[in-house]
Amino acid sequence: FLTSFYNSATVGEHMLQKIIILGTGGTIAGWASDPEQPQRYQSAQLGVETLLASSAVNLQDLEFEQVAQIDSKDASDEFWRKLLSRALHHLQRPDVQGLVITHGTDTLEETAFFLSALLPCDKPVALTAAMRAANHPQADGPENVRNAISAVAQTRFKGVAVVMAGRWWAGSQVQKLKAYAPEAVGVFEPWAWGDLLESMPPVILSPPESVTPWPGPETVLAHLQWPRVEVLLSHAGAQAWLLKALLKDTDPPLSGLVLAATGAGTWHQSWDGVIVELLARGTSIWVSTRCALDRLAPRHEQGIEWVPYTPVQARVGLMLTLIGSGLQKPVP
């Protein structure tokens, strides 16, 4: 059904309003120069218009915009700023039913978390990606694009979701779990996904749980420089020297630190003294777990927050929380 949705004569009945396709690059837009070696490809080579044409979708009632053309491992604050701005612009249009965003998988969980925290939940936003280049013999991008458009057209959810491999996942929960397989993404929470072939009423996908209310998107966009937040992994043999390096004055200065902690939120004892120094200097510290299939119970203790996110999601969440606290000065 999903594959044939755009070949049917009833497509106009389902698409009562426009769907906007925002292209950002990624493997889904990648191209292998040697067809005999499709695994050796360069990411972000095709524009979103070409990508849609190769996906064999009906372009009726679709609009497309190339927001960026990057390998998602190179995502930056500026990339997120532009994507948020364009997504917000289109969602505020009364003639737009929803958005599809093509993206790379490497930082998909960070962008999905970022947008989930900031975009309104009254329209569907589907991020989609691929693990094989566009000219791979078994390219997974075309079907993922068709499914994402179909999910938005049918309003299978409202809010931000990731659509891949015949399923959708809540954008606030998704993470990349595999390095090669087309089924690369998943979620920890079993309720936070759905099968695209199942018939069910629309699901409202809420923003991720927050320590304090997330700032509005306009507030985020009004800040010239977003707070610098780093992630540090605790491991056997960890020493304090790297943490001590964070005490040095830098430009921009360190505003927040996420500890990718062991187990239930612990870290190497060699870090204890430096963490006290960082807190005394006003550095905000959040603790996540490096365990892929679990999350920490939220708690606050001695000026530190334990949060129920992956380490990279926690970095995004802490950055947004610091923006919301008024740490940075907005544009005059």
Chain Cα centroid distance, residue 317: 12
Kindly state the DSSP code that residue 296 receives in the 8-state scheme.
P
CB 75 within 8 A of CB 110: yes
Query: DSSP string spanning 194-255?
Result: EETTS--PPEE-PPPP-SSPPPPHHHHHTBSSPPEEEEEE--TT--SHHHHHTTS--SSPEE
Report which secondary-structure segment, H or E, holds 108. Answer: helix 108-118
Helix, strand, coil proportions of the chain in percent (round to 5)? 30, 25, 45
On whether the CB atoms of residues 109 and 310 are closer than 8 A, the answer is: yes
Which of 24, 27, 107, 111 is the catalytic position?
27
Structure tokens at 122: 């009254």
What phi-psi label fits residue 141: left (phi over 0), alpha (psi between -120 and 50 degrees) or beta? Answer: alpha
Tokens of 313: 């999601």
* N- to C-terminal Cα separation, the chain: 51
Q: How far is CA 329 from CA 83, 245, 247, 323, in A?
A: 21, 26, 23, 9
Please say whether the beta carbons of 17 and 97 come within 8 A.
yes
Q: Has 250 been annotated as catalytic? A: no
Q: Which of 120, 112, 20, 104 is nearest to 66 (CA)?
A: 20
Active-site amino acid positions: 27
